[in-house]
Amino acid sequence: MSKARVLCFLDNPLGRDTEILLPVTYCIEKYLGAEVLFKFLWDILFIKIWKPDVVLLPNIKGHHMYVEIAAFSKKNNIIVLALESEGNFKTDGSFPYWGFNKKKILYQEWLTTWSERIRSHLKDVLDKEDHSKLVVTGGTGFDRYIFEEFKGREELLSQYGFEKYSKVIGYAGWAFGKLYGTHKDESFLHFKDWKPRNEALKWVESQRIFVRDILESVIKKNPDVLFILKKHPKENYESDPVEGPNEMNELTSYDNVLYLKNEESIADLINISDLWLAFESTTAVESWMLGKATILINSDPEFPRSSPYWASVVVDNAQKLQNCIDEYYESGSIAQFRAKENLREKAIEDSIGFGDGKNHLRVAYHFRKSIPEKHQSRKVPLNLRHLRLFLLMHLGRFFYNRALFMRLPKFKKTLYVFENRLMPGFEERKKACYDFLEQFHKKEGIDAELEMNNWSKFKYSESSTFEESPE
């Protein structure tokens, strides 16, 4: 009997979407006995080559090719499963929920929501016949903050020659650089009901400068503190290989600044930081799970946003931020942050659902019902566009020259393709993640439960508890 085949696609080998999928594919491989294959999303021809039983995606709205993959799979009777990369958002209608899924079609078998708040909202967004697909699972990408061990400060900083610093403050970028990208109009569409387009873009630029200046002030005043400035992973589109100004990259000349793009995991950076700063970011939730105080640099928090900003300290000038830094290094904590502990507990429930490291099991509880026990033979028609993408990527690599392609406008966006087509670093990351999951499952007794097929233990109940219930 041949194993069921699950084909997963990623637009980047490392980062958010990878962390969302890996805990789920671990369960699929270990407990459901399926064969899992990961491919770069331009390898869409592999749907015909491998003829999977299931296509698994990190989302079906954040990239136009994720939508194309889902639609093609569904049309050819291949089961589509998907998660949510952005599962914590405002429910007042300001968030463009469908993204690149312009037809607003729910291709997947299950719509895995991060919280009861979001599930309730989506009942008003979806057609009534799709309500049965709505399930609460929590955000799987946040599980790693419970089951994983992260790099230590000395190990990480020594890679960049900054090991002398005993004080470290991190900052999560907000993707202000999209203002200078080729798709700036698309990037801020969710502001359309908040401010007119020109006003919104002026506001973004004013906030970029506002944050930059405050960061520069505290960087200058604290030469003994290393400031790690982390660029937002989705700041640039594939067609933007050259970086425009953001709130951080004009500060890289300072000796106590380390500016990082995709070199390090955001989790590792949070782990080695004493304090975590942002303009607005869901990484605040991740920071709380690692016991870090969070401070938002923001003078206008009432814009369309998804982060539960009210559970962090919010500062609107450089002196207030400096006061927080001083208080932390003098006493080991910040009184304003301590006072919001109860708010953070509620924020975690409303944003990512659960902080126990078991969201991937809640997903697997439902997905297992959609994955067949064995591989089914099927015919998949040849799609000429998929063939063209495949040939352009795999034959074009022989002609790829980064310096040359950077000078050719029509070829710039292919840099992203040629540099990610082999998924560099993915297998190493997968092995590390699986090793941590194996230890976590053994420690928590999860493997023993699932060897007895006791999946019902991981079913979400509306009382937000894990109650054993009949299948």
Name the residue ranges covered by the structural domains of the chain: 5-143+355-458, 152-351
Q: What integer pLDDT is reported at residue 436 of this predicted model?
A: 97
Q: What integer pLDDT is reported at residue 96 of this predicted model?
A: 81
Burial of 291 (0-12, 13-18, 19+ CB in 10 A): exposed
The tokens for 109 are 């078998």
Give mean pLDDT in consecutive 10-residue pieces for the chain, a chain of 471 residues.
93 91 98 96 96 97 94 97 89 82 95 93 91 95 93 95 97 82 62 70 89 98 98 68 83 97 90 95 90 92 67 95 98 96 87 92 96 94 95 86 72 77 94 97 94 89 41 33
Q: 317 pairs with which residues across the strands?
A: none
CB within 8 Å of 310: residues ≥ 6 apart: 301, 340, 343, 347
Q: What integer pLDDT is reported at residue 465 of this predicted model?
A: 36
Same fold, 5-143+355-458 and 152-351: yes
What is 5-143+355-458's CATH number? Answer: 3.40.50.2000
The CATH superfamily assigned to 152-351 is Glycogen Phosphorylase B; (3.40.50.2000)
Report the alpha-carbon distance of residue 369 to residue 32 in Å, rounded. Answer: 10
**CB atoms near residue 351 (< 10 Å):** 26
Q: What integer pLDDT is reported at residue 469 of this predicted model?
A: 30
Q: What integer pLDDT is reported at residue 347 of this predicted model?
A: 86
Q: What integer pLDDT is reported at residue 304 of this predicted model?
A: 59
Q: What integer pLDDT is reported at residue 463 of this predicted model?
A: 43
